[in-house]
């Protein structure tokens, strides 16, 4: 019987669980795992920062509906990913983190990179364990994978001392590896029949309803078409989190066009697998506070978490939706789309919502420095035309607010799942898009338009070399205002007599602006600096052509820093409790 080390066991378990890609920044404690993964056909994607590896795994997992896998070396490797572990935890994303550790034989000797990793990892992960015997390796991994995938999903951590991977004294017979599959990677269940009847009755009481698809819908989804069937039967519009509307309904469908305004006016709202937090906020203006709220969630702890639900249903969303549709069909005929005043009204309102969002452009003069919204409108035109094949990641502060608002207000952009990714960073940091771009590009095969502010750009600048190494078609669009402008906006909201530019200015010592497009030369990409509206789309076309040839490109757009989006002002008022002052 062949003798094997722990790295062989790790790779075989990952392969058994359908893992096809792992993200890493290599190190002396874990390189053996990478070698064995490669032998089994698992793609090894090495990045330039551990946090970026985690964000890449998060984006890859969410786009594919699979668990993301990260392999990090001991000590600083694991700890450098810690911020992103919190993002995964808050976002309920199933991520398996394999962390190296000092050899068992050196424990307690102050060996290189010997630290207590378990205490901080227990604080952020659903499950954390150390493997001390290769005979227990497979079982521990299967237990971790089960915990990652069972709602509430989240990150899990398995610490693997280096000697289990490289020390011949820890080799075991292959038959002793305990290959039994302990993992439960998918639990799917239907709803209580009585609650289905109750929900059906509530949905049929009014024609003014809406469906909302939460961000947890990506995982274990087998019947996405049922939500469109349910929406059409009831003539309720569909809205979705994080730009995923294209996963459920085509953008030109009448029930997509009403989604922007529906939640705020609906009399009944049916919510599937949503995480109610500051990003979604079921108590916010996007959801009518007087509406009947029906929540369907795989995790019972999410029901009525932030807002009391009229009815809470535990079950797998697509199964429950199919059951619910079957019950409704026994109670009522399908509603006629030609007779829905509700849908017609919402369709008429949709252009008005966009006009309201861009109203400030009416007063914009031809300033020497471009208004950021002017630039974003041009980017939106590109994405609807020559850039239609691009998926979009929007990162940053004020710039992200502008981009997210303008794109979300136009249904034409939601042509497929994962077209627009905004807000993967539930912890609220910036720079997450650098790693997420890698994951989304690999998962979808589409070029990525990576939109960010100039502040966010430098958080994980090294990831551009990851794009170049793997030939990823990435166009980075920078809203360059030489400022951490959202923080300045926060300060301006209350402290009008202070120096609110302190630590917010991003300029050279002589006061000149940085030219970030010049960075593209370092990896053989194309860099373009833009100051005029009419040059934006031509620049984006040139950058996209270069990116498709494996040359990641930067389009640095100069925009005005004396302008703040209303959403940023609102965030400041909420943060500091200013109310309507």
At residue 488 the predicted structure's pLDDT band, cuts being 50, 70 and 90, is confident
Alpha-carbon span 311 to 304, nearest angstrom: 9
Please tell me whether the overall predicted TM-score, pTM, comes out greater than 0.85 for this model.
Answer: yes
- Say yes or no to pLDDT of 581 above 60: no
DSSP label at residue 101: E
Mean pLDDT in residue range 192-197: 97
For the chain, which domains are there? Answer: 3-177 (3.40.50.970), 193-349 (3.40.50.1220), 358-576 (3.40.50.970)
- Mean pLDDT for 377-400 is 93
**Residue 18 Rama label (left phi>0; alpha psi -120 to 50; beta):** left
Q: How far is Cα 277 from Cα 567, in angstroms, rounded to an integer?
A: 17
Average pLDDT over residues 110-123: 90
Tokens of 237: 């519009």
pLDDT at 2 over 60: yes
Comparing 16-20, 268-272, 368-372, 374-378, which segment has the lowest mean pLDDT?
Answer: 368-372
pLDDT greater than 70 at residue 228: yes
In sign, the C-alpha dihedral spanning 344, 354, 543, 401 is negative
Least confident of 44-53, 399-408, 437-446: 399-408
> Can you tell me the mean pLDDT for 261-290?
89
Which of 62-66, 325-329, 560-564 has the lowest average pLDDT? Answer: 560-564
From the list 340, 349, 359, the residue with the least C-alpha distance to 257 is: 349
Burial-class residue 534 by CB neighbours within 10 Å (0-12, 13-18, 19+): exposed
Q: Alpha-carbon distance 290 to 267, whole Å?
A: 7
Who's near 179: CB < 8 A, 6+ residues apart?
12, 138
**pLDDT higher than threshold 80 for residue 45:** yes
Residue 76 CB burial class (10 angstroms; 0-12, 13-18, ≥19) = middle
Q: Give the C-alpha separation, 446 to 423, whole Å.
A: 20
d(CA 130, CA 537): 52
CA 67 to chain CA centroid, Å, is: 13
3-state secondary structure (DSSP) of residue 231: helix
**CA-based nearest residue to 313, from 294, 332, 286, 290:** 294
Confidence of residue 218 (pLDDT cuts 50, 70, 90): confident
Least trusted range by pLDDT, from 5-9, 117-121, 218-222, 331-335: 218-222
pLDDT in tens, 284-302: 888 999 999 999 999 999 9
CA distance linking residue 499 with residue 123, whole number of Å: 38
CA–CA distance, 129 with 141 (Å, rounded to integer): 9
Measure the CA dihedral 374/380/384/386, to 10°. 80
Question: Is 90 exceeded by the pLDDT of residue 138?
Answer: yes
What H or E segment, with its residue span, contains residue 68? strand 68-72
Strands of 298-412 (E only): list them. 311-314, 391-394
pLDDT at 219: 87
d(CA 245, CA 268): 20
CB 559 within 8 A of CB 536: no
pLDDT recorded at residue 391: 95
Helix, strand, or coil (residue 268)? strand
Q: In residues, how long is the chain?
A: 581
Q: How far apart are CA 31 and CA 154, in angstroms?
A: 25
Q: Residue 502 has which token pair?
A: 């302190």
What sections of 385-444 are H helices per DSSP?
398-408, 433-444
DSSP-derived pairing of the beta strands 172-173 and 3-4: antiparallel
Q: Does 91 score more than 60 pLDDT?
A: yes
pLDDT of residue 420: 85
DSSP state of 216: G
Q: What angle do CA 568, 573, 574 make, to 5 degrees?
A: 95
> Tokens standing for 261?
């305004």
Chain centroid offset of residue 455 CA? 20
Residue 36 binned pLDDT confidence (cut-offs 50, 70, 90): very high
Residues of the chain with pLDDT > 90: what percent? 69
What mean pLDDT comes out for the span 261-289? 89
Q: Which helix (H) or strand (E) holds 562?
A: none
């Amino acid at each position: 019987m062949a003798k094997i080390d722990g790295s062989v066991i790790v790779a075989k378990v990952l392969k058994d669980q359908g893992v096809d890609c792992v993200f890493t920044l290599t190190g002396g404690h874990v390189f053996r795992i990478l070698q064995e993964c490669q032998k089994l056909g698992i793609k090894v994607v090495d990045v330039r920062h551990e946090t970026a590896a985690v964000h890449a795994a998060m984006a890859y997992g969410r786009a594919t509906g699979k668990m993301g896998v990260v392999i990090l070396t001991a000590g600083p490797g694991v700890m450098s990913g810690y911020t992103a572990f919190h993002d995964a935890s808050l976002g309920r994303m199933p991520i398996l983190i394999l962390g190296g550790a000092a050899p068992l034989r050196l424990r307690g000797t102050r060996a290189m990179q010997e630290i207590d990793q378990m205490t901080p990892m227990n604080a952020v992960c659903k499950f954390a364990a150390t493997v001390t015997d290769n005979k227990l390796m497979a079982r521990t991994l299967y237990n971790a994978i089960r915990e990652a995938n069972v709602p509430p999903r989240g990150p899990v951590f398995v610490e693997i001392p280096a000697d289990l991977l490289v020390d011949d004294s820890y080799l075991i017979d292959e038959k002793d590896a305990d290959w039994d599959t302990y993992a439960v990677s998918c639990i799917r269940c239907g709803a209580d029949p009585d609650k289905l009847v109750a929900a059906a009755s509530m949905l049929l009481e009014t024609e003014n309803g809406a469906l909302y698809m939460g961000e947890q819908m990506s995982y274990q989804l087998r019947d996405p078409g049922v939500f469109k069937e349910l929406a059409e039967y009831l003539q309720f519009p569909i809205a979705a989190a994080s730009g995923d509307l294209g996963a459920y309904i085509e953008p030109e469908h009448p029930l997509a066009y009403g989604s922007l305004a529906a939640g705020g006016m609906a009399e009944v709202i049916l919510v599937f697998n949503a995480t109610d937090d500051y990003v979604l906020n079921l108590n916010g203006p996007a959801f009518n506070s007087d509406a009947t709220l029906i929540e369907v969630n795989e995790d019972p702890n999410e029901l009525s978490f932030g807002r009391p639900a009229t009815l809470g249903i535990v079950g797998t969303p697509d199964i429950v939706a199919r059951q619910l549709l079957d019950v409704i069909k026994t109670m009522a005929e399908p509603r006629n789309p030609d007779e829905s005043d509700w849908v017609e009204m919402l369709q008429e309102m949709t252009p008005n919502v966009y006009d309201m969002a861009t109203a400030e452009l009416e007063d914009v003069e031809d300033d020497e420095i471009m208004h950021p919204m002017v630039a974003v409108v041009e980017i939106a035109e590109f994405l609807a035309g020559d850039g239609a094949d691009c998926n979009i990641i929007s990162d940053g502060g004020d710039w992200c607010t502008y981009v997210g608002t303008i794109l979300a207000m136009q249904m034409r952009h939601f042509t497929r799942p994962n077209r627009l990714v905004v807000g993967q960073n539930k912890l609220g940091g910036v720079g997450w898009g650098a790693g997420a771009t890698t994951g989304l590009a690999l998962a979808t095969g589409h070029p990525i338009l990576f939109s960010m502010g100039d502040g966010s750009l430098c958080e994980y600048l090294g990831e551009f070399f990851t794009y170049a190494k793997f030939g990823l078609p990435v166009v980075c669009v920078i809203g360059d205002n030489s400022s951490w402008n959202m923080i300045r906006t926060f300060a301006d909201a209350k402290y009008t007599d202070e120096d609110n530019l302190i630590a917010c200015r991003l300029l050279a010592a002589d006061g000149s602006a940085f030219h970030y497009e010049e960075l593209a030369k370092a990896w053989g990409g194309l860099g373009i600096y833009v100051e005029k509206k009419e040059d934006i789309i031509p620049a984006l076309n040139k950058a996209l052509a270069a990116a498709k040839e494996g040359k990641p490109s930067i389009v640095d757009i100069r925009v005005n820093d004396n302008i703040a989006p209303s959403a940023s002002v609102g965030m400041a008022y909420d943060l500091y409790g200013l109310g309507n002052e």
